[in-house]
Amino acid sequence: MSLRRLLPLATAGALLLMSDLATAQTWQSVSASRRVHGEKRLRVDVEFAVGTFRLRPTEGNALYHADILYDAEFFEPRIEYDAERGRLDLRVTPEIENGLDLDYDDTDQHLTVELSRSVPTVLELKFGAARAELDLGGIPLERAEIKTGASESVVSFEEPNPIACDRLEVGAGAADFTLTQLGNARCRVIEVAGGIGDVTLDFTGQWDSAVDTRVEIVMGFGDVNLRLPIGLGIEVDIDRLFAGFEGSGFVKRGSRYFSHDYDGAAQKLRLDIKAALGDVNVEWVEGSF
């Protein structure tokens, strides 16, 4: 099933988790970690329902480190590592299938994950009514798929990816989503699908001339905010229904828009945008690449 078709399901499931149930009262914590033992690859699958989810690179020789604070009355965490498959599964999901409605602003529940800087990593992250603060910079990221529900999420690449990334897929449901310093991601393909809410994409960072990047953005109801570094050659192919687009800084050639310095730019980026209702806003910023 495609990322776009999964968005309505993720959004609906997340919205069921946000209402006025009494605040959690039975708190427990659990931690787990493992050192690097010659692993060639690490696959990390995370499913987190409610609270604050943080992910960042670790220091030292740890393969991973995870800390969970959870409400034992309603949630049952799971931390499982399969050494043969090189797979880490982290789950903080309700013990009951329905009837649980919580808002991440009203709970201290959290999951914090730190990942190795030396082992190539594949991520599959799903979170519902959660606030996500993810710094993927410095993690050798091969591929990542991020699906959110009714969450406010910030994904950053504070440092360059040590390896080239095949694909970064993001499906944002019913809240704002921000991706920053995407130049550091070193991904060949970036796909972003937004449901309801604003999406901000910041393309600053250290662009690698050996990696050609194509970005596909599909937006439902909300604004797309683009932060584009001056000097990066930008090509925009935009398909709009009722969305506005301010072409300042671009020259139109046929049906496409090109930055003024596109032809002479050492590094180029293509953006394919499909927007239904909302504006596509552009901010030109200073940035190295």
CATH number at residue 54: 2.160.20
**pLDDT attached to residue 210:** 85
Please, what sign has the CA dihedral across residues 142, 186, 178, 221?
negative
What is the domain count for the chain?
1
**Per-residue model confidence (pLDDT) at position 19:** 41
Domain annotation covers residue 84: yes
Examine the pLDDT at 84 and tell me if it is beyond 50: yes
Q: Work out the pLDDT band at 25, boundaries 50, 70, 90.
A: low
Judge whether 16 lies within some domain. Answer: no
Q: 3-state SS of 79-119?
A: EEEECCCCEEEEEEEECCCCCCCCCHHHCCCEEEEEECCCC
| Residue 246's pLDDT band (cuts 50, 70, 90) | confident
Mean pLDDT within 35-46: 96
What domain range includes position 128? 42-285
Mean pLDDT, the chain, integer: 87
The pLDDT-based confidence of 135 (bands split at 50, 70, 90) is very high
Identify whether 224 is part of a domain: yes
Q: Would the pTM of this model clear 0.95, i.e. be above it?
A: no
pLDDT computed for residue 24 by the predictor: 41
pLDDT band at 243 (very low <50, low <70, confident <90, very high): low
Report d(CA 172, CA 169) in Å as an integer.
Answer: 10
What percent of the chain lies above the pLDDT cut of 70? 86
228 phi-psi bin (left φ>0, alpha ψ -120 to 50, beta other): beta
Distances in Å between the Cα of 222 and the Cα atoms of 30, 195, 216, 247 are 38, 8, 16, 18
Show the CA angle centred on residue 158, arms to residues 155 and 234, nearest 5°.
Answer: 75
**pLDDT per residue over 253-269, tens digit each?**
999 999 998 999 989 99
Considering the domain boundaries, does residue 5 fall inside one? no
Phi, psi torsion values for 58, nearest 5 degrees:
-100, 165
Q: Is residue 119 part of a domain?
A: yes
Digit-coded pLDDT (tens) for 66-77: 999 999 989 989
Residue 17 lies in a domain: no
Q: Are 28 and 92 in contact (CB under 8 A)?
A: no
In a domain, 78, yes or no: yes
